[in-house]
Structure 1
Amino acid sequence: MFKKLLLLVLFVAPLSLCAQKFAHFDYGTIMQAMPEFKTAQASIEALGKQYQSEIEGMQKELQTKAEKYQKEDTDATPANIKERHQQELQDMYQRLQQAQQDNTEKFQQEQQKKMQPIMQKVMNAVNTVAQEGGYVYIIDKNASQQAGIVINETLSTDVTSVVMKKLGITASATTAAPAAKK
């Protein structure tokens, strides 16, 4: 009796492995179709331009002052004035470097702050689709390619449109972009 039960388990176990469902989705396509992503992206780009403008202004000020001091400082200029000019330029350069570093950090923080909720919303929708569809794995096909993972799309279900539907993204939002390419 035990042998028959063991044989039955050995024959049924591989069948249960075959019944597992795998899916993939295109994270980039979903993000690009989300209105909140477009809004966040525009806001981040505007912030980047603002920071870049500030840095360019500081660079121009530094360059202008350096050129001015170069013209003013002659052999007749006292050493203490030359040293003061050099120190002032060095201080301006250090402030410029600090501003670049601060702006980079603030930009990254703002980017994270704006994008994290959107990314979490997508992942929540993917998790919902996985649970409702009974999928064992749902893989982002773009990330998998970068990681060297091959997805056989004929054996895996593309759930991109299902995830988009869960997010309330209509088909017209995604078909408008390809139609413009024609």
Structure 2
Amino acid sequence: MKTLHLTFAAALLVVGSFFAPAAHAQAPLKIGYTSVEYVLSQMPERKQIESDLKTYSAQLEAQLKSKQTEFDTKLKAYQAAAATMTDVVKRDKEKELQTLQQGLQEFSQTAQQSLQQKQQQLLSPVLDKIQKNIDLVANESGYSYVLNSDAGSSPILLHGPKEGDISDLILKKMGITPTAPAPTPDAKPATPAIPATSPAKAAPKKK
């Protein structure tokens, strides 16, 4: 299992201001947009989240490696002595190996889920902070709706004028000076998937 790179989970953020009714029915409709991934990438919390995820991933990796080593050691011992084992002992060893293999596979799957849950746990307060500042900027600047321009999010903005991008306004509201230009509305940043663990070697089937 490789170290998980932080996925800027913009899809987790429900842009409440998008669904908020316009303050005045007679006022002109003003629509803005932001890239939540871009905003998150500029926040100082990002580095801590990445560090925490890396540490957590390494812990899971160490546990998985330990289980894999135990299985490999017992498998080699079985293969070396199988020819001299009685049928009863052989069946007992095969059953033990299959149990270890099943536990290894289950841990691998659980580790992936655990890593995803940890990521969501770490991102949740940061996404809440972004949402709060989206609402503040939208209310102060008179935006009736704010869309998320990140690919894979809902709703998604396919095109929009640069003046409608409030990403830097959101960062400035949080006291952050942008260090990179905001992405264009049609940019499609890649979202790396959590890599799967290597499959375990097969245990010998019981005869």
TM class, shorter-length: 0.7 to 0.9
Structure 2 vs 1, CA of residues 92 and 169 (structure 1 numbering), >3 Å: closer, same or farther? same
Match of 1:159 in 2: 166
Pair 1:42 & 2:51 matched? yes
Pair 1:62 & 2:81 matched? no
User: What are structure 2's unaligned runs of at least 5 residues?
Assistant: 1-25, 182-207
Match of 2:108 in 1: 100
Equivalent residues of 1:24, 1:139 under 8 A apart: yes
Percentage of identical aligned residues: 26
Distance 1:144 1:21 in 2: 24
What is the CA RMSD across the aligned residues, in angstroms?
Answer: 2.4
Q: Aligned ranges for residues 1-182 of structure 1 at < 5 Å? A: 16=26, 19-74=28-83, 76-143=84-151, 149-154=157-162, 157-171=164-178, 174-175=179-180
Letter in 1 for 2:120: Q
Distance 1:148 1:30 in 2: 16
Measure how far apart 1:117 and its partner are: 0.5
When normalised by structure 2's length, the TM-score is 0.68
Match of 2:3 in 1: none
Distance 1:92 1:45 in 2: 27
Equivalent residues of 1:30, 1:160 under 8 A apart: yes
User: What are structure 1's unaligned runs of at least 5 residues?
Assistant: 1-15, 177-182
Between Structure 1 and Structure 2, the one with more helix by share is 1
Bigger CA radius of gyration: 1
List per-residue Cα deviations over 1:86-110 (Å, max 9, x = no partner): 0110111122123223323322222
Q: How many residues align?
A: 157
137-146 or 156-165: bigger deviation: 137-146
When normalised by structure 1's length, the TM-score is 0.76
Equivalent residues of 2:137, 2:169 under 8 A apart: yes
86-95 or 49-58: bigger deviation: 49-58
Distance 1:135 1:66 in 2: 64
Equivalent residues of 2:148, 2:156 under 8 A apart: no
Structure 2 vs 1, CA of residues 144 and 43 (structure 1 numbering), >3 Å: closer, same or farther? closer
